[in-house]
Amino acid sequence: SYAFYIDDAAPQNLEAFEAFEFRLLHNLPQLDPALDAFAAVLKRMWDFYDALSARAIFTACLEFVDMTCIEPSMSQVEMHRTSQRLPWYIRQRSSGSTPFAVFTFPRRLGIPFMAYFPVLPDMDYFLSGINDLFSFYKEELKGEEGNFVHMRARAEGKPPMQVAAELSEELLVARSTIHAALRPHPEAFKAWIDREKGYIAWHMFLPRYKLQEI
């Protein structure tokens, strides 16, 4: 819910969100009460996750806030063939997928960070990509072109539908990589499968994505 709020509210109140880290580091009240609550939640990550996992969540959430402040200015950036890494750089930080992946493995499960760390980039890409694919329909209906698929299409000089098809193939590869790495760790593998199924089902049935229309 914080992610949805930040994503929607930051463009309307940039001053509050651009000051988030400064005020957090200096123990000052935030300029938006929701950010005070968000900061309190971030500080509690160490109560539920081991130190490495908590730090991964914390730093990725700061990057998420940063990127929501940058995204309103992206219309000023010309995406061309020399910018092929930029779409993923933006998407990786704006998606919030790294924290969501790490949320899969709370301390109570007894799964060490290093058991899943080797495929954390694949988890990040998988979760981000699933969201991109399942958002693509509703965004096409609205004529939105500021998403990962369209930015990557412009950077690579390809039609958006071709990029969407390539992304779906890349997600299958990422999924296979994750499964192969986690299968020797039964608890981690089960936790991930539950996350994977739940994440897909959430997109399929949430009215926000309009997938029932397809």
> Which pLDDT tens digit goes with each residue over 120-167?
999 999 999 999 999 988 888 888 888 899 999 999 999 999 999 999
For residue 132, what pLDDT is reported? 94
Same domain, 82 and 68: no
CA distance 138 to 27: 40
Q: Domain tally for the chain?
A: 2
Give the residue ranges of the chain where pLDDT is below 50: none
Q: Give the pLDDT confidence score for residue 119 in this predicted structure.
A: 98
Residue 71 shares a structural domain with residue 89: no
Q: Return the amino acid letter for 91.
A: R
Contacts of the segment 133-142: beta carbons below 8 A, 24+ positions apart: 133/164, 133/167, 133/168, 133/171, 134/203, 134/204, 134/209, 134/211, 135/209, 136/164, 137/209, 137/210, 137/211, 137/213, 137/214, 138/208, 138/209, 138/210, 141/210
pLDDT at 139: 86
Q: Please tell me the predicted confidence (pLDDT) of residue 95.
A: 92
Kindly state whether residues 69 and 83 are assigned to the same domain. no
Q: Do 72 and 88 have their domain in common?
A: no
Please give the model's pTM, rounded to 2 decimal places: 0.91
